Amino acid sequence: MSSTYIERSLEPVLKKAALEFPAVVLTGPRQSGKTTLLKHLFGGQYNYVSLEPPDIRASAQEDPRGFLEMHPAPVIFDEVQHTPVLLPYIKEKIDAERQKCGQFLLTGSQNLLLMEKVTESLAGRAAMLRLMPLSRREADARPKTSLPWDTDRHLSRQNGLAYRDLWKGFLRGGYPELAAHPERDGALWYGSYIQTYLERDVRTLRQVGNLSQFQNFLQILAARSAQLLNLADVARSLGVVVNTIKAWLSVLEATYQVIVLRPYFANMGKRLVKTPKVYFTDVGMLCYLTGLKDPDHAASGPMAGAIMETAVLSEIFKTLTHRGIDPRIFFWRTVAGTEVDFLVESGEKLVPIEVKLSATPHPAMASAIKTFQNDFQDKAMPGYVIHPGDVMLPLGSGVVALPFAKL
């Protein structure tokens, strides 16, 4: 890893959690920077133990109490999903000194199994936080920048990105190692990441038997990104049953590789579509899985719309997650075909967002947002049409065209 440290938006949230809870559990996908972040913030005061090496793992499993005596608090236990047996003994330690905060900092890259164990053992004793790959604002060294609908936001401060640079950034994605090493071959890195992910994370989860078939599933899912997801259709393509596809999708969601976007329902008279959509959490991963290596091909090819939508959703999702918030984001689509790409919950209200590929915004692009605002009145906030250009302008009352760089 490069010695260049990239400041993360989660830092103040993490520090506060360590002052208020006996344990902090930091989850997120592999290589999102969890270890780097904890060592940067707490490395001076905390012991550090990785539970990945087999001998360390065996030691923890054979004698959990002895292991905790050997590695006393305050301590960082990295990749704790390998030794869930430790968690009840960590609870015992915490309960013996309940008033002491920040005793244990735990990381894990598998939400599914880890959450079950943490909920059983550390309920009420641990803050649960997530670290995703870099958001655009983190990669651009402005991690504290708020979102456009936050009241303290000043939209004029950030310059736009050149069109080709924007698409190069999408291809590169948000993993810290690729940001810290611009010379690294992105396609090679993603290929290796997927192999490691399949071998280490997916193999240990009970729902996956055939790894090569699961890899095909990843590619099929990428090709259908940002579309309504017909699970039966995907199952037919792979020659498996629908329940297998559901189980595999839950594995991807649990290991933070995808965001399953569900439709928004309210008691409106309109008939609404009930099928979910799936997006990859990292736009670089989407580009890799669909075989894209050139920014011009990405910007003008059939996946361009899905890439742009993924980049926007990913930025909002990461920004909210790194504030310690569980993002509530939906899409809205009527049976008649009116659709708003994203609805972001902000307090009791919803921010409608449309994503367009044209860098020349015009008022017609705001029509779906206006329909939504008209239907939902007080619940709807001002909306945004996000595009890859550099023009910011109003598209009528209550809708602004916003360059991606200003998101």
Q: pLDDT for 144-177, tens place per residue?
A: 999 999 865 545 445 566 888 999 999 999 999 9
In the chain, ranges of CATH 3.40.50.300 domains: 11-130
Residue ranges in 135-205 assigned as alpha helix (H): 136-139, 163-172, 176-180, 186-196
pLDDT at 77: 96
Radius of gyration of the chain measured on its C-alpha atoms: 22
pLDDT for 364-407, tens place per residue?
Answer: 999 999 999 999 988 999 999 999 999 999 999 999 999 999 99
Average pLDDT over residues 248-252: 89
Backbone phi, then psi, for 73, in 5-degree steps? -70, 155
Structure tokens at 318: 């990461």
Does 2 have pLDDT greater than 50? no
Give the separation between CA 191 and CA 188, rounded to whole angstroms: 5
Give the pair of three-digit tokens for residue 52: 């990945």
In the predicted model, what is the mean pLDDT of the chain? 90
CATH fold of 11-130 reads: Rossmann fold (3.40.50)
Average pLDDT estimate for 73-88: 92
Task: Give the number of other CB atoms < 10 A from CB of residue 78.
Answer: 21
Instruction: Categorize the per-residue pLDDT at 118 as very low, low, confident or very high, splitting at 50, 70 and 90.
Output: confident
The pLDDT of 37-64, averaged and rounded, is 95
pLDDT(274) > 50? yes
- State the Cα–Cα distance between residues 60 and 56, nearest whole angstrom: 6
130 pLDDT exceeds 50?
yes
- The answer to whether residues 277 and 261 touch, using CB atoms and an 8 Å cutoff, is yes
Q: In this predicted structure, which of 32-41, 107-116, 244-253, 313-322 has the lowest mean pLDDT? A: 107-116
Between 99 and 132, name the one with better pLDDT: 132
Per-residue pLDDT tens over the stretch 326-363:
999 999 998 888 999 999 999 999 999 999 999 999 99
Q: What is the pLDDT, as a whole number, of residue 1?
A: 39
